[in-house]
């Protein structure tokens, strides 16, 4: 059962997920351009259960292109929204992780920064940041050219709770 702190964390933050093909958002999380899903997506969870999206929209990150922030509201997500590392990378971003932070760079600028969740120790990103973090910082060594096309098929791998950290 989720407590109030867990619910608030799920609404404000999303796990940066390299196994998710799209941004999958919990009900109640802040998004813009919310619309009923004309073509709901189905996500199969590791326990075999299938959950479906109900709405589409965009992450409320206005300094990023709308194609990069398109998301699916999936009420059946149990613990947290998922921000797709793949979707950012396919749109030309570079995403880096270290022991403390997750950083998203677009066109040579740092546009999104997150930390590690103290409970899960997974990297997370804010769902409704107020401004691009350190957008003046550039990284000339990053190749930020647009490359891959998005796939219409979606998946979210390893979306389950392990009872013990060693698992």
Q: How do the domains of the chain map onto residue ranges? A: 4-126
Q: Residue 96: count other Cβ atoms within 10 Å of its Cβ.
A: 12
Query: Which span out of 7-16, 119-128, 141-150, 158-167 was modeled with the highest average pLDDT?
Result: 119-128
pLDDT at 10: 63
In the structure encoding, which two tokens stand for residue 19, read together? 């196994």
Higher-pLDDT residue of 12, 94: 94
Answer yes or no: are the C-beta atoms of 132 and 31 closer than 8 Å. Answer: no
**Residue ranges of the alpha helices (H) in the chain?**
4-12, 66-69, 85-90
**What is d(CA 24, CA 83) in angstroms, rounded to the nearest whole number?**
7
pLDDT tens per residue across span 53-101:
999 999 999 999 999 999 999 998 877 899 999 999 999 999 999 999 9
Please give the model's pTM, rounded to 2 decimal places. 0.74
Least confidently predicted of 87-91, 102-106, 125-129, 142-146: 142-146
The sign of the torsion formed by the CA atoms of 26, 32, 36, 41 equals negative
**DSSP 3-state assignment of 83?**
strand
pLDDT tens per residue across span 18-34:
989 999 999 989 899 99
pLDDT at 148: 35
Q: For residue 33, which of 62, 53, 13 has the smallest C-alpha distance?
A: 62
Name which CATH class applies to 4-126. Answer: mainly beta
């Amino acid at each position: 059962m989720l407590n109030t702190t867990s619910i608030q964390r799920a609404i404000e933050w999303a796990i940066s997920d390299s196994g998710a093909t799209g941004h999958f958002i919990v009900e109640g999380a802040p998004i813009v351009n919310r619309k009923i899903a004309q073509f709901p997506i189905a996500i199969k969870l590791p326990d075999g259960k299938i959950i479906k999206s109900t709405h589409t929209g965009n992450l409320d990150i206005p300094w990023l292109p709308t194609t990069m922030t398109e998301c699916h509201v999936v009420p059946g997500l149990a613990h947290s929204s998922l921000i797709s590392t793949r979707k950012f990378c396919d749109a030309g971003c570079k995403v880096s992780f270290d022991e403390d932070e997750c950083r998203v760079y677009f066109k040579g600028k740092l546009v999104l920064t997150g930390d590690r969740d103290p409970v899960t120790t997974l990297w997370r990103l804010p769902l409704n940041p107020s401004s691009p973090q350190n957008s003046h910082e550039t990284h000339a060594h990053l190749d930020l050219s647009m490359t891959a096309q998005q796939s219409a098929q979606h998946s979210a791998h390893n979306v389950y709770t392990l009872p013990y950290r060693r698992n």
